[in-house]
Amino acid sequence: MDTKFRAVMMDKYELGKSIIIVAHPDDEILWFSSVMEQVNKIIICFLGSLRKPDLGPSRKAALDRYPLLNVTCLDINQSDIFGGANWINPTLTDYGIAVPNRPDSASIYRNNYFEVRQRLAQELLGVSTVFSHNPWGEYGNKEHVQIYRVVKDLQRELNFKLLFPSYFSNKSSSLMLQNIDRVGSDTIVLKTDIVLATQIKKIYQECNCWTWYNNWEWLSEDTFIREQGREDACVPLKEFEVFPLNFIQISFVSTEKRVFKNKLVPAITERLTYIIKKIVTYFRTKTN
Ligand SMILES: [Zn+2]
């Protein structure tokens, strides 16, 4: 960050009293590398996983080797809620995104909301600015959406400024458009710290807990958008106003397509096979 811009940021967003809040270890370097060294603290919410017992210890080992001293982890188990949300027609709940197809994990996901909220309420006292996940969970991650919901809820009580990164993907685009009215015209473009991010990525990879693409290449700049909302007095977007969004193309099969592929296609095939067998049997009987 150049000196002049840093001075503006220090003045407007009081970076010395600011915090990054992310869901998982590695989110901080993927979406916030440009401000990691400027903020007062980086809080990571989730560490372990009941489904993947090795993940927590691996992540702990990586955090023990972390080159920055301002990182702390709430050490809450992630909800392990894979699939289940409808990203084509998404519905937001108080706790994150609705997961109608995974009622088994939904209660863990919901409980995590309250646990994270309770823990962060203490951490955010006196904080001036929070950098955290965006309303559509960047590329479309349910726990990123959840952390956004927690932070947004706490903003009503604690009144900090909220900035989120502008990343989105083909998976999260519907949710992004649903929430476009949250975007304010106050956007900040900052140089990503690729050297630092690559150094920390290597630690995560060596500890077997890098959860993103191995060939991921950082853009040269992050864009942060200031949340528009009643509690936050920033200026809403005007008609024809342009603002930058960073698009990520990911591999994504919608729930509907997955249901079609995994359930409907075998059911239709089975039914057709049955009908063809019946027809063959009928003609065989006739010719005999
Ligand atoms: Zn994450």
User: pLDDT, tens digit, for every residue of 158-193?
Assistant: 989 999 999 999 999 999 999 887 787 778 889 999
Distance 59 CA to ligand 1 centre (A): 13
CATH number of 3-251: 3.40.50
Distance 122 CA to ligand 1 centre (A): 22
Distance 15 CA to ligand 1 centre (A): 23
Distance 27 CA to ligand 1 centre (A): 5
Distance 147 CA to ligand 1 centre (A): 10
Distance 49 CA to ligand 1 centre (A): 13
Question: Of 107 and 207, which is predicted with more confidence?
Answer: 207
Distance 45 CA to ligand 1 centre (A): 10
| pTM, full prediction | 0.85
Distance 193 CA to ligand 1 centre (A): 19
Distance 234 CA to ligand 1 centre (A): 27
Report the percent of the chain where pLDDT is more than 90.
Answer: 62
Distance 128 CA to ligand 1 centre (A): 24
**Cβ(165)–Cβ(224) under 8 Å?**
yes
- Which of 81, 82, 74, 80 shows the shortest CA–CA distance to 46? 74
Distance 229 CA to ligand 1 centre (A): 25
Report the percent of the chain where pLDDT is more than 70.
Answer: 87
* Per-residue pLDDT at 236 exceeds 70: no
The residue ranges of every structural domain in the chain are 3-251, 253-288
Distance 155 CA to ligand 1 centre (A): 21
Distance 266 CA to ligand 1 centre (A): 34
Distance 171 CA to ligand 1 centre (A): 15
Note residues around ion ligand 1 (Cβ under 5 angstroms): 23-24, 27
pLDDT in tens, 36-85: 999 999 999 999 999 999 999 999 999 999 999 999 999 999 998 878 89
Q: Which tokens go with 188?
A: 């900040």
- Give me the long-range contacts of 123-128 (CB less than 8 A, separation at least 24): 123/19, 123/41, 123/43, 124/19, 124/154, 124/158, 124/160, 125/158, 126/17, 127/17, 127/18, 127/19, 127/40, 127/158, 127/160, 128/13, 128/14, 128/17, 128/18, 128/160, 128/161
